[in-house]
Amino acid sequence: MTAIPSHRKASLHVAEESTIRLISLDQIRVLNPRIRNRQIFAKLVENIAAIGLKRPITVTPTADDQGECFEIVCGQGRFEAFQALGESKIPCIVVSASEADRFLISLVENLARRKHSNRDLLYSIQVLSDRGYSGREIANKTCLDVGYINGILMLLRNGEERLIAAVEKGWLPIKVATEIARANDNEIQQAMIEAYETGVLKGDQLIRVRRLIDRRKALGKRYGQQLNSERLTTPQKLLNAYQAEVRRQKVMIKKADINEQRLLIIITALRKLLADDYFCTLLRTEEIQDMPKPLADRIQGEMS
């Protein structure tokens, strides 16, 4: 690489070393003002009032007929906090910079303070890929694993918004998400079993993934998507849906009758056992002295 000449290096450094100066607030104006959250600003004022200013603001001198003036490059919040506290002067670092550089520095500071979501990161990966960067190059730029980058790119290309949202929230591993995206129903079931057996998915996490897969199958990969195959657009489809619902309710009624019979058997058996003194003594010995309230209510009802 060609070395940069020494006279060129100096021109590239906007914020050269400078001493800290106390400058009157009346001599300073805001270059690129922005609206800030009132609660956050109130906390900033309270913090400065309690422990003082941790970092001087950065200003640059400007030409003005009224005398020496300065524009804020970084530190609008600290400057306004000093105004709110009734101060007359504020510590400043004075730098020399062109108007374009001043706006650029201010913009960079505002962007640096912005809280970026995981979704911003994911779609920034897509932008880098569209610009021709390979998975490994993107991984080097973002300090992320190459496998993670390739998995995210695959999900983005396939429009897997539901899977991406789960990965972004942190409860669905990227490896599981890519397996779901590539597989059919039978393969997904096998992948779920393997994920459970290997400990990748456990307990509630497994249930959440199962629900995600069901929603993806019923509603599509993208949010707000409706699958044409599931729309009831003909009288025959409406009839089939009605008959299926009738069959479902009949099965539900049969299951309820069976469960009711089983419950009656259990209640009758427990009622007889609780009438036996030896059985009650055994329960006390084993420190089993309570039961579910609905079951106890049913037993007492039968006994009365």
pLDDT in tens, 160-205: 878 878 877 777 777 778 888 887 877 777 777 777 777 776 777 7
Indicate if the pLDDT at residue 253 is higher than 80. Answer: yes
Q: Is 80:34 a contact under the CB 8 Å cutoff? A: no
What would the pLDDT profile of 35-44 be if each residue is shown by its tens digit? 777 888 888 8
Packing angle, helices 185-197 and 174-182, rounded to 10: 160
Q: Distance between terminal CA atoms of the chain?
A: 97
Query: Is-above-0.75 flag for pTM?
Result: no
Distance (Å, whole) CA 102 – CA 110: 13
- Matching residue, tokens 């506290």: 85
Q: Which long-range contacts (CB under 8 A, 24 or more apart) does 180-184 make?
A: 180/213, 180/216, 181/154, 181/155, 182/154
Query: CB burial class (10 A; 0-12, 13-18, 19+) of residue 84?
Result: middle
**Residue 147 confidence (pLDDT):** 83
Distance (Å, whole) CA 151 – CA 178: 6
Q: Is 106:66 a contact under the CB 8 Å cutoff? A: no
Q: Is 135:146 a contact under the CB 8 Å cutoff? A: yes
Distance (Å, whole) CA 169 – CA 159: 17
